[in-house]
Amino acid sequence: GMDDGGFDASTPSDAGMDDAGDEDGGVTVDAGPDLRRQLLDALGDSVWSATQEREERAGFVERAYEQRFSARTLEWGELRNPFGPARMRTLRSFSVGSDGRTLESIILSPDGWPPHPQNGLRQSWDVEIVDGDPRVLRLTDSSGVTEEYEEGAWPEPTEGLTAELRVFGPSGAAWEAFCGAGFTLSDSERQSFWGFARGTSGAAVIDSDVVAGVPLLEWDDSSSGANDFSAIDVHGFDRLGGTLVDDQYNFAVRYTGSIRHPGGSLAMRENDDDLEDAVWVFLDGEVGSSRVADLFLEVHNWSNADATSDTVTRTLPEGEVPIEILLVRCAMPFDGKELRVEMNLGGTGFRLVGEQPSLPVVEDSLFPPVL
């Protein structure tokens, strides 16, 4: 099973640690089972998950947590909200006491990771594994708070798209490329903003977040001019305790994944070709392109013409069609100009992208592993 072979007795460092004192004139030979070894064997290479309430800046917040152990390397990795929002990695090294219950840990900040806010923190835990199907992991911290986890990874989302949110400021390169572009939108301004939305440009990102498995539904600023659709209103960023991005009003969202296409015509439009900002869509082999000629759909609010027709159609075989949708929001009211990105698959009628069958992108570059 998953727990076999967690240690290799032939490894010198392990053998040295584990056998110390066992041959001291027979004194400890009858000391009973090696409780430390039993817990390490039970941990093995295991993964556990559950939702937990923990205290954050605004009080207690319920989020998903996943715990991964490598007994061989004595590493323990925690993921908060493994598929977003507010995802965070915590890597600890650990040791197990001779009682087979006490675990001492220290938080690490590996090279290339964002510095952990509690880097170097030493903690002590009481650990218990309860046999069953699934097994249960009980972790009790030094203040007596217990969390329980069931064995198994937090489930990967299989519906919706992956949304990358990036906030830009009221000035600077990203703002100049679109919101401050003047009366017309040039190819170079488009390309500059796409780079920001994709995270490939040098333009300053004030804040960002990513969530997998979210629907692209209507963006509705029902504000009567009060400008109240902010980054925290983007669908999916309210899940599992919500994003830690503040309620900003200048932002881009990049949606990626695949559309489950029944075959035949795939058509797209913005519902009434009337919006405050812009939507760009790249389809299939053009996903990630920086060429304006590769756009499948463009709708923007500048005085020059869109690069595509209002409604665009391509005939494609049945299967998963890669898609990339880039949306921008400038800090101005769009009351009455609701953003509705719609799709018609195989002539079944126009519906919001978020109401069509889709599959999110889940890859290590967006959701890097903790162990």
Q: Are 186 and 214 in contact (CB under 8 A)?
A: no
Tokens found for residue 329: 């929001």
> Residue 20: what pLDDT?
42
Q: Write down the domain spans for the chain.
A: 12-151, 161-360
What is the distance between the alpha carbons of residues 256 and 166, in angstroms, rounded to a whole number? 14
Instruction: Give buried/exposed letters for 53-91 (b at 16+ CB in 10 A, else e).
Output: eeeeeeeebebbbbbbbbbbebbbbbbbbbbbbbbbbbb
Summarised one tens digit per residue, pLDDT across range 34-92 is 999 999 999 999 999 999 999 998 899 999 999 999 999 999 999 999 999 999 999 99
DSSP class of residue 369?
-
Tokens found for residue 261: 């296409």
Sign of the C-alpha dihedral computed for residues 44, 63, 127 and 116 taken in this order: positive
> Residue 14: what pLDDT?
38
Residue 56 C-beta-side C-alpha neighbours within 13 Å:
14
CA neighbor of 329 nearest in space, from 240, 238, 223, 242: 223
CA neighbor of 234 nearest in space, from 221, 224, 223, 225: 221
Q: CATH classification of 161-360, choosing from 1.10.1200.10, 3.90.45.10, 3.30.2350.10, 2.60.120.1560? A: 2.60.120.1560
Q: Are 338 and 217 in contact (CB under 8 A)?
A: no
Q: CATH classification of 12-151, choosing from 3.30.465.10, 3.90.1170.40, 2.40.128.280, 3.40.50.12780? A: 2.40.128.280
Q: Are 80 and 64 in contact (CB under 8 A)?
A: yes
What is the distance between the alpha carbons of residues 129 and 138, in angstroms, rounded to a whole number? 6
Element (H, E) at 261: strand 251-261
CA neighbor of 307 nearest in space, from 280, 327, 331: 280
> Residue 276: what pLDDT?
59
Nearby residues of 112 by Cβ (< 8 Å), 6 or more positions away: none
Nearby residues of 204 by Cβ (< 8 Å), 6 or more positions away: 168, 169, 172, 173, 174
Average pLDDT, consecutive stretches of 10 residues, N- to C-terminus, the chain (371 residues): 36 39 49 89 98 94 99 98 98 98 98 95 98 98 98 98 93 75 80 92 92 92 65 91 86 96 96 70 97 93 76 97 93 65 96 97 97 94
Element (H, E) at 12: helix 12-19
What is the distance between the alpha carbons of residues 297 and 256, in angstroms, rounded to a whole number? 15
What is the distance between the alpha carbons of residues 296 and 325, in angstroms, rounded to a whole number? 10
Tokens found for residue 186: 């040039």
Q: Are 232 and 245 in contact (CB under 8 A)?
A: yes
> Residue 184: what pLDDT?
74
Tokens found for residue 322: 């890669």
What is the distance between the alpha carbons of residues 267 and 296, in angstroms, rounded to a whole number? 10
Tokens found for residue 364: 């290590």
Instruction: Classify residue 353 as exposed, middle or buried by CB count within 10 Å of its CB (0-12, 13-18, 19+).
Output: buried
